[in-house]
Amino acid sequence: MNTIGTSTLGSSWRAKYFSSNLQKVLRNALVSEKICQVDSTDSYYIHNPYGNQPTAAIQALTGTYSVSAFTITDDSLTVTDEVIYGEHVFDFERVMSNYTLMADRMDDMAYAVAFGIDKFVLNVLTEDGTGTYTTPVGGFTSAANIPVIVSNLVSKVMGFADAYRGLFLVIENTDVPGFLQAQIASGFSYSDAALNNGFMTNYAGVDIYVVRSGTFVSTTLGSRSDLTNSGHRVFGVKNVCTYASPRGIQYMEKDVSGKTGKEIAVVGYVGAKVWTQKASLIVDITLA
């Protein structure tokens, strides 16, 4: 890996290292991987996996039944966006033959790609989920609001068969103080654990995920020009949405005419879908 930086063998090992490292980052760092079904196949279209909701009849014992038609909703996930990053490395051979520098730089690039994927997927979920909720004044930053908000959110999806898949809530790092204060102020064993471990992984049976401030936005991301998510967060049932990343992440090194060194480019395709039949199980939270 730290042999001749411009050789085909060196480039091949770097590409393998980057791919392996990125897959680890995607598994460990992406919120999207934890809350969505993941499709990494080479399909350009991913078809709706859900049919209509069956409803069983309750009747006196007769031994007869009515036949319902099985229907599906014409809905598909079309992958039309990419997460991409590129940079020019001067004195490429000397820089990339330094393993520590190379590994650290590839880590930074991997996390940049992961953040881009999460930002796109989370904003699609927030925008397309049809469930809605407005927090009490102060939002998540007020510790007193946390039990109220979480209980109200949970009530929106309880009773649905899909709730067994698990529940999630995605907040930004600026919301953390309220959660920690609420946990620390709870009953003895729970507050002791929060004080000792500083944990925020779960609250009232809801898995909590924290992303950086500025993840939820009102702007254009790729093909989505309809996002209005600034000041919003997202809650819902796990694995009722699909996050697609066909062909994985590609790493390229290129010679550039007129410049010394090389260009490094990283690109991955991304798509996300809130399926029509399950859209009410994804809740768009507005902070008051």
Go through the domains of the chain in sequence order and give each one's CATH number.
8-286 (3.90.1690)
- Transcribe 111-174 into DSSP letters: HHHHHHHHHHHHHHHHHH--EEEEPPTTGGGSTTHHHHHHHHHHHHHTTSGGGGG-EEEEEEGG
pLDDT tens digits for range 201-238: 788 889 999 898 999 999 999 999 999 999 999 999 99
Distance CA 86, CA 97 (A): 19
Alpha-carbon torsion (104, 110, 113, 114), positive or negative:
negative
pLDDT at 142: 93
pLDDT tens digits for range 119-173: 999 999 999 999 999 999 999 999 999 999 999 999 999 988 788 889 999 999 9
As given in the structure block, the two tokens for residue 156 are 């929106």
Rounded to 5 degrees, φ, ψ at 138 are 105, -15
Specify the pTM.
0.80
